[in-house]
Amino acid sequence: MTNFLEPAALGRLPLANRLVMAPMTRNRAAADGTPTDLMAEYYAQRAGAGLIIAEAATPNAIGRTYPDIAAIHTPEHVAGWRRVTDAVREAGGRMFLQIQHGGRIGHPATSGHTPLAPSPVPLPDTIFTPDGHRPAVVPKEMTADDIRATVADFAAAARRAVEAGFEGVEVHSANGYLLHQFLAANTNRRTDAYGEDRTRFTVEVVEAVAAAIGPERVGVRLSPGLTVNGIEEGDTERLYPALVAALRPLGLAYLHLVHADPGAPLFRRIRASWPGTLIANPVLTELTTEAVDSAAHRLLDAGADLVALGRPFLANPDLVTRLRLGAPLNEIRDRYLMYVGGATGYTDYPALGDQESSASMVA
């Protein structure tokens, strides 16, 4: 049995353990997308993770999803992220940055632009904006020029991420955002080459990012079969083996699977065909030390190299220490996950030492 607390490596990058803090949108950036000092504190608190994948940052203005999310397309964004990476590095951590374009998950009230998408198919739901929840708008179908410009924006964002001090970047092709919209049959109704081969856009983006900063600095996040944000892929079992086969020759840092099921045939097929590092994110039905320990070991035993955890890291800045000691986990406060801003439910989750100090003061 592989111990998730033992040291590991991501290519030439040494990691203190096999636990990865998964990217989670927390809406604590400034209004223009610049990371804040509060974000630097939040990530530095969690530097015990073997690797932190920072929350999604948009590569351009039109790709913005929600208010107060981070971005990486101006010098101010780079400077803000540099404060974050400096704080994490000083605390002994390692960071990648996730790059995400929202596609149809966006609104003119937030970005100032009508969203772009593979096809003019709106999100079948409301979307959060600075004015509260509003009906989604019909996105504009991307032209060939839009596609080329967006690929170039991803590559430029990757270069800025390295300038900002990140070890590398994760291309977000999951969870119903733009690249996943190209992969899915219900959101990609194109009749051109990007419709005939729905993996093409993701592959072109990844190739451009790898050429910009080196493939050893690039990971890709996928969510096979996930229906979040109105996605219906239609042919998951065919789609992802084809995509993985196209990505395989690039020599990437890793592949990151969302909601990975170690018992599923598709997980086993992807693991068998992917020659490099595989990061797997489990589905956790309960947030306890025992549940996290069990899920992590199941994935490692099934062939994952690293295990990505979201909510456990969100509520436990010292998660690695708690798991090592078998200590109980903090309860998560769901109402503070997104949209509210500020330190509450963000940087105020206690570490074990903080709890012990509070208990002794009460006594």
End-to-end alpha-carbon separation of the chain, Å? 42
Helical (H) or strand (E) element with 290:
helix 289-301
Q: Which residues contact 48 (CB under 8 A, 6 or more apart)?
A: 16, 17, 92, 93, 317, 318, 319, 320, 321
The active-site residue out of 42, 43, 66, 177 is: 177
* Full DSSP string of 49-108: SSEEEEEEEESSGGG--STT-EE-SSHHHHHHHHHHHHHHHHTT--EEEEE---TTS--H
* Among the listed residues 305, 245, 58, 284, the one whose alpha carbon sits nearest the alpha carbon of residue 160: 58
201, 147 in Cβ contact below 8 A? yes
55, 25 in Cβ contact below 8 A? yes
Strand segments (E) across 130-243: 132-135, 140-141, 168-173, 218-222
DSSP 8-state secondary structure symbol assigned to residue 122 = -
The verdict on whether 346 is a catalytic residue reads: no
CA distance 218 to 212: 10
Q: Which residues are catalytic?
A: 177
